[in-house]
Amino acid sequence: MKNKNVAIVGATGAVGREFVGCLESRGVPLASLKLLASARSAGQKQTFRGQELTIEELKEDSFNGVDIALFSAGSGISRQYAPIAVKAGAVVVDNSSAFRADPAIPLVVPEINAHRLKDHKGIIANPNCAAITTLVPLWPVHQANPVRRLIISTYQAASGGGAALMEELEQSTRAYLDGKPYEPKVVKHPYAFNLFSHNTAIDMATGYNDEESKVIKETKKIFEDDKIAVSATCVRVPVLRAHSVSMTFECERPITPQEVKALLAKAPGVRIVDDWANNYFPMPKDASGQGDVLAGRIRKDLSDPSGKSISMFVAADQLLKGAALNAVQIAELL
């Protein structure tokens, strides 16, 4: 992105603010940065590298002169404005679900399939946050010993639902501790001291919710392997930020925990946290605010006598590697 004109769409949202933070912390010498949001946010100020930038209203002419546009304003906005940005000459990196399933649009995790960037025709999709968290540590194993089956359960933080859901978790927790009633506004269920199936629609034919279906489909697309059998259970937990995933995967050939640890020890974007003696493993508190996927609890799946299966627990910051950081890494590689 050196000396490029960059725009952020959805600059006042949880991921939009992290876009700004990533660009600042990584020190890329941009030519300019334009912050775009809805009309109600226009005129607000954000600081970037010591300068005060004014939020501008997103309009059809907002992308004149823009080289790279980072989108995180929902799939509806992406479908409407991403083609406009491309027509104006920008390359779009989109954090919504709008384009992920489109076979013509690359779905990219830089540690896994950066080579797909050459296939873009103006739009690049940023994967689902739970998929990124799962696949970054699984990829080095898959390269060495192909994964044939994957079963995951996710523990997804409020940050996955944006700033409004994070605020609801804080407010409902405060009300619970004060003994006061609180009526949920963003989700259907009480959030404080509770967990519930991910708040996306259930497919009445399969019983899987939309989040689970995304992880299943995106795993196959990113790994470029339709033969992988994937099952997912996605759960929202009362954690502010950083998703965790419990996974069990079956490889083509027998594999040991020691082999998995050796592969992860040299894998980009992965940090092993696997202290059996002190019962210390990946946690949201340690994953928050940093860019690696933490991996631990690496052990044999005792239910598989073939020795081909491993169980593992991972955690990553949903707002960073699960969203903003991954998108900025894509933009840097462009």
- Mean pLDDT check: name the lowest of 25-29, 41-45, 79-83: 25-29
> Domain check: are 280 and 218 in the same one?
yes
Q: What's the average model confidence in pLDDT over 151-164?
A: 95
- List, for residues 189-219, the tens digit of each pLDDT value: 999 999 999 988 999 999 999 999 999 999 9
> Domain check: are 17 and 146 in the same one?
no
> Domain check: are 204 and 243 in the same one?
yes
Residue ranges making up the domain that contains 162: 131-318
Residues 129, 198, 234, 251: which is the catalytic one? 129
> Domain check: are 310 and 328 in the same one?
no
- Is 22 catalytic? The answer is no
- pTM, two decimal places: 0.94
The CATH number given to whatever domain includes residue 86 is 3.40.50.720
Residues 120, 142, 198, 243: which is the catalytic one? 243
pLDDT attached to residue 90 = 97
| Closest by Cα among 91, 117, 131 to 5 | 91
> Domain check: are 265 and 299 in the same one?
yes
The CATH number given to whatever domain includes residue 170 is 3.30.360.10
> Domain check: are 211 and 297 in the same one?
yes
CA 76/CA 21 separation, integer angstroms: 25
| Closest by Cα among 79, 107, 73, 90 to 222 | 107
pLDDT attached to residue 235 = 97
> Domain check: are 116 and 200 in the same one?
no
- Is 120 catalytic? The answer is no
Q: What's the average model confidence in pLDDT over 104-129?
A: 97
Q: Tell whether the model's pLDDT for residue 2 goes beyond 80.
A: no
Check the CA dihedral 133-126-145-115 and report its sign: negative
Q: Tell whether the model's pLDDT for residue 1 goes beyond 80.
A: no
> Domain check: are 177 and 226 in the same one?
yes
- List, for residues 64-98, the tens digit of each pLDDT value: 999 999 999 999 999 999 999 999 999 999 999 99
> Domain check: are 228 and 119 in the same one?
no
Q: What's the average model confidence in pLDDT over 150-168?
A: 95
> Domain check: are 88 and 148 in the same one?
no
> Domain check: are 169 and 27 in the same one?
no
What is the number of domains present in the chain? 2
pLDDT attached to residue 120 = 96
Sheet with 270-272, strands from edge to edge, namely 196-197, 229-236, 147-156, 243-251, 309-316, 293-300, 270-272
Average pLDDT over the chain reads 96
> Domain check: are 269 and 120 in the same one?
no
pLDDT attached to residue 59 = 96
- List, for residues 244-278, the tens digit of each pLDDT value: 999 999 999 999 999 999 999 999 999 999 999 99
